[in-house]
Structure 1
């Protein structure tokens, strides 16, 4: 069953969590903080990890599977660095944990455009390998229900390397928004990103659709 504040379950306060986990074998953790500020995101993940382990162990849960981000082991600042702490916190708890690291979602591009100020969106021209959220969800369920993976940590990414700004320009053209690519200066770990630090590793699974294919079927 899905768990969120909308269904009366809060993994931070613990409200409704014990009841929601009754009879559950596997927790799939895709909860996330809503902003990029590192300290606040880290505190969110610290609390959520503690509660999932505590309530999950009491409920007899066998395992936690979580969605993470490709390149977290290289991050030094911002949300991605907080996500690495999230991995470490979950792995240090009493329940077994499986991790799937994913590239940025196709859906993230639209969020970037929504966050713009004015009629022009200035977005980083950084390399990425965008993947559909549904593709990640299917892979995460497979990870949760399948045999335990070995090392390294599994990764899932889209089939095509592209620039984040270029992908945004495709969506912007449909929305009547001009997109201007910038070098990403001022962003956490922009230099690491520019050098491909957040692109999938050679062992990653690559799966479609491409961003253009995904965009073509959007309403």
Structure 2
């Protein structure tokens, strides 16, 4: 199959591309750096020519609600229009577990709008929702650092390795459209402040974790980001991943 991966040079996309190529598929990494701009539509038609499947793992360059909403909705419209013209048979989109249960967070509202655009885009689809990536823990900690303290809420998360996300997305791309949502999550639930402690225990840098329910990116989030018993559980544990990275 010919599979086009939008966002194919990023953290998830580059791994999806590598997995699909290993499995013998003609795989195109589409991104602004390779001449494909989903916001303007530039390069979409030639990239999608002859494509069987399009995978969209692109991300908004801004987490601000309005900017993210514009990015995800405009890109989704342009991509699905180009897919219909090219005869693409399957659209795979990456989203977030619990995304439709956090209406007060603008970025999540933007992702919900993206999902709605995919559902209404006229192309058979599969939506893969993932929990937070292991790779995001350290940046979240950095954003929440004040002096020598990392201030984090006790929100429960069930983080997952990006490699496990890429594997699930690649599997979806090779399968039939589900016209529905599949949740994937890591094997363990950890409080965010505890993830900070685990990280600093593995990589001490002089900082310490302070539990602060009003601090950082996840302050005030409802407890909906771990998924439920229907979520597919990946194998990689956070401590084991830290030891390798």
Q: Under a length normalisation based on structure 2, what TM-score does the superposition of the two structures give?
A: 0.80
| 1: CA distance, partners of 2:179 / 2:74 | 28
Q: Count matched residues.
A: 214
1:87 to 95, 112, 115: 115
CA displacement at 1:186 relative to structure 2 = 7.9
Aligned match of 1:113:
141
- The answer as to 2:147 corresponding to 1:138 is no
The 8 Å contact of residues 125 and 184 in structure 1, kept in 2 or not, is answered as no
Q: In structure 2, what is the equivalent of residue 73 of structure 1?
A: 100
SS in 2 for 1:197: coil
Q: Structure 1 residue 172 and structure 2 residue 200: aligned?
A: yes
Distance 1:186 1:178 in 2: 15
1:167 match: secondary structure:
helix
2:124 to 96, 99, 102: 96
> For residues 200 and 58 of structure 2, what CA distance do their matches in structure 1 show?
28
State how far apart, in whole Å, the 1-side matches of 2:85 and 2:51 are.
11
1:27-42 map, 5 Å? 27-42=54-69
Task: Tell me the TM-score normalized by structure 1.
Answer: 0.89
Shift, 1:110, TM fit: 2.0
Unaligned runs of 5+ in 2: 1-27
Cα RMSD for the two superposed structures: 2.1
Distance 2:216 2:143 in 1: 16
**C-alpha distance after superposition, 1:148-194 (max 9, x if no partner):** 4376x2110000000122212332341514332321468678251xx
Deviation at 1:116, TM superposition (A): 4.4
Contact 1:113 1:172 in 2 (8 A): no
